[in-house]
Amino acid sequence: MNTALILLVDDDPGMLQLLAMRLGSMGYQTCSAASGQEALEILEQHSVHAVLTDLRMEPMDGMALCSQILERWPGLPVIMLTAHGTIREAVDATREGVFAFLTKPVDKDELHSTLTQALSLHQPSEGRGEGDNGRIVTRSARMFQLLEQARLYAQSDVNILITGESGTGKELLADMIHRNSHRHDNPFVAINCSAIPEDLLESELFGHVRGAFTGANQDREGLLTSADGGTVLLDEIGDMAYPLQAKLLRVLQEGFLRPVGGRQDIAIDIRVISATHVDLEAAIAERQFREDLFYRLNVVSLKLPPLRDRIEDIPLLAEHFLARIAQRTGRPEKSLAPEALGLLLGYHWPGNIRQLENVMERLFALTSGAVISAAQTQQAMPVDRMAKVESLTEARTQFEKTYLDRLLKATNGNMTLAAELADRNRSDFHKLVKKHGLDPQAYRSSQPEGE
C-alpha cells in the first residue's frame, strides 16, 4: 500500500466515492471531506501529502480552500477538479499556486501521472527523521530533484560545492544537508568569506593564541574548531585570499589546524560544504583559486537554479514571506491581487529569492489594507526588467502573427501554397492573414509568383 495519504474534497458524495475507489485501485490511501471547512479540520489532525479538490463548492470554493492551504501548509500540492473548466480558470488557478488543474470526467492515466508528480514534491515523512525541506519553500520539480540529490549526499561525509547566483538560497540548502546528515545534533557554522576582512579571516577561521598579534589579549577558538563534529559552510569561498587557501587545504587533507601564533596542531572533525556564485574553474585559470583546493571541495556539486527558472515558486514564496512577516510583526495577513502577482511573475529577479523577500517586506510596509494592489507592487519594485505577464489570448495572437509572417516569407507571399502548408482552406487563411493586418504583396519579390 502506498504510504501517501490523499485528501479528497467535493460536495458531491458520489464523486468522493468514485475518486476514493479509483485512487484505492492505484494503491493510495484516501480520506474525504464534503466541504472546504471540513478539509481544513482534517488537515489540522492528519499528515496529508496531496489534496484533490473540486473547484465549485459552497460556501468555500476550491480556490478559497487552496489559498488557506498554501498559507498554512506551504508546499502541500493542491490539484483542482472541475466540470466547468475554462482556460481562464486554469491560468488563474496555477498563478495562485494550484499544482494542476484537471477537468471532469478525469482521465485515470492523467490523474495518476499528476499525483505522481505532485507527491514527488511532498513525500511521506515516515522513516526520514529530519529529512524534510525545512525552510526551503518550493513546488518546482527541478528543485525537488535537487533536494533529493542533496538528501542522498547528506548521508555521507563527502565535501559538497553548492553553486548558484546570489540570493538563490545556498545557505538554506547547506543547512538542510546538515540536518539530514548524521551530524545533525552537532553545530552548523556558516562563514561568509567575503564579509570578513582578509586580514581577519585567518584568525576567525583558525583562532589565535594570546599575543599572536596586537590586540590578541587571550586565546580565542576559531570557527572551524567551534564546528567540531558538525558541518561548516564556507560561503563565497571564491573570495578567499590565495595564501589562506593553502592553509584550508591542509585542514581538509590532514584533519588538523593550527591557530594563528600557535605551535601545536588541533585535531578537528568537520564536514565542509562550500558555496559560491563565481566560476571557480575560471578563477583557477586566472590563478586566483587553487586547483587542488577546488578538487577537495568539489567532491560532489549542486547547482541552485535562479528564481527566473523556477517561476512556479514565485506565488508560493511571495505568500510565504507575507505570512511570515505578518506573524513576526503581529499584524493581519495580506495577500496579493492577481494583477500584482502578474507583475511578480513578469520580473526577471536578478537578486533571486533574497530580492523577492525584500520586495515583500516593502509591500507589507506600504500596504494598509488586506490586499496588495498592482500599483503598490509596481511602486515597491525596481523599474528595470519589469514586464507584464501576457494573457493566453495575447500569447496565442502573437504566435499566430509570427507563424503567418514566417509562412508568407517562406512561400514568397504565395497564399495558395501558404494555406496548404498551414492545412487551412484558402478562404479561412485569407481571413486569418487579414485579421493580423498582413499584406501578402509585401512578401513577394520583384518577380511575383502566381497564386
The answer regarding whether domain 392-443 maps to CATH 1.10.10 reads yes
Fold match between domain 5-119 and domain 392-443: no
Q: In this predicted model, what pLDDT tens digit does every residue of 220-236 receive, in sequence order? A: 888 999 999 999 999 99
Q: Which CATH class is domain 5-119?
A: alpha beta
H/E element holding 79? strand 78-82
H/E element holding 190? strand 188-192
What lies within 8 Å, CB to CB, of 387 at 6+ separation is: 346, 347, 348
Q: In this predicted model, what pLDDT tens digit does every residue of 239-264 receive, in sequence order? A: 999 989 999 999 999 999 888 888 88
Proportion of the chain in helix, strand, coil states, percent, rounded to 5: 45, 15, 40
Q: CA–CA separation, 415 vs 407, rounded Å?
A: 9
Cell numbers given for 298: 568539489
The answer regarding whether domain 141-303 maps to CATH 3.40.50.300 reads yes
Mean of pLDDT values over 337-355: 90
Q: In this predicted model, what pLDDT tens digit does every residue of 371-412 receive, in sequence order? A: 999 999 998 887 655 555 566 677 778 888 888 888 888 787
More confident residue, 424 or 83: 424
Mean of pLDDT values over 15-39: 89
What pLDDT score was predicted for residue 446? 41
Considering the segment(s) 310-380 as one domain, its CATH architecture is: Orthogonal Bundle (1.10)
Half-sphere exposure of 279 (CA within 13 A, CB side): 4
Cell numbers given for 75: 508546499
Q: CA–CA separation, 157 vs 231, rounded Å?
A: 9
**Which among 59-63, 304-308, 415-419, 437-441 has the top mean pLDDT?**
304-308
Domain coordinates of the chain in residue numbers? Answer: 5-119, 141-303, 310-380, 392-443
